[in-house]
């Protein structure tokens, strides 16, 4: 029965150790902002932060994050970079269907937090693992640049 810290709260979940974090978050902890897209780390919809690093929760067993800090989209506004990213996303209306955007925002936040002034190549590198079927990529790129320029 692993104990996880999710969005700053310690929780013991009655789940098997090998259960992917994605399902523990969605089906057990009730945090549905993290999305299921592919189940095999190909699309990035399930991206969360584990000790600040963007992580595909669909292939990460809960046992691997025991004792670590898991942050999901529901709490990303507590992260200064996350707030800037969310504001930039709203400012230029990145979202369309919106399903992949939790994962996009988690990846973008981790990028901005580690590289305050990312180049196009940095953006490609950090974001290429996140698929958007609505093709909002031009606005994702623009929003990341806006977020990078915003005051924390």
Residues that bind other proteins (CB under 8 A): 15-16, 19-20, 23-24, 26-28, 30-40, 42-43, 45, 72-74, 76-77, 86, 89-90, 93-102, 105, 123-124, 127-141
Report how far residue 102's alpha carbon sits from residue 145's, in angstroms, rounded to the nearest whole number: 18
Q: Provide, rounded to whole angstroms, the least separation between the CB of residue 54 and other proteins.
A: 14
- Is residue 42 classed as helix, strand or coil in its secondary structure? coil
Q: Provide, rounded to whole angstroms, the least separation between the CB of residue 52 and other proteins.
A: 18
Which residue lies nearer to other proteins by CB, 28 or 64?
28
Report how far residue 70's alpha carbon sits from residue 135's, in angstroms, rounded to the nearest whole number: 28
Q: Provide, rounded to whole angstroms, the least separation between the CB of residue 64 and other proteins.
A: 14
Residues 26/37, Cβ–Cβ less than 8 Å? no
Q: Using CB atoms within 10 A of its CB, is residue 10 exposed (0-12), middle (13-18) or buried (19+)? A: exposed
């Amino acid at each position: 029965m692993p104990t996880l810290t999710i969005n700053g709260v310690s929780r013991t979940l009655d789940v098997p150790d090998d259960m992917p974090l994605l399902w523990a978050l969605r089906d057990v902890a009730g945090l549905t902002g993290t999305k299921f897209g592919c189940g095999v780390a190909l699309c990035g919809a399930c991206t969360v932060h584990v000790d600040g690093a963007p992580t595909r929760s669909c292939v990460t067993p809960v046992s691997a994050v025991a004792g670590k800090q898991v942050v999901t989209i529901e709490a990303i506004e507590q992260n200064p970079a996350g707030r800037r990213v969310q504001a930039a996303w709203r400012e230029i209306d990145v979202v369309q269907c919106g399903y992949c955007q939790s994962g996009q925002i988690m990846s973008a936040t981790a990028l901005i937090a580690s590289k305050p002034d990312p180049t196009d190549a940095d953006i490609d590198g950090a974001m290429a693992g996140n698929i958007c079927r609505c093709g909002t990529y031009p606005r994702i790129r623009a929003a990341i640049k806006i977020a990078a320029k915003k005051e924390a």
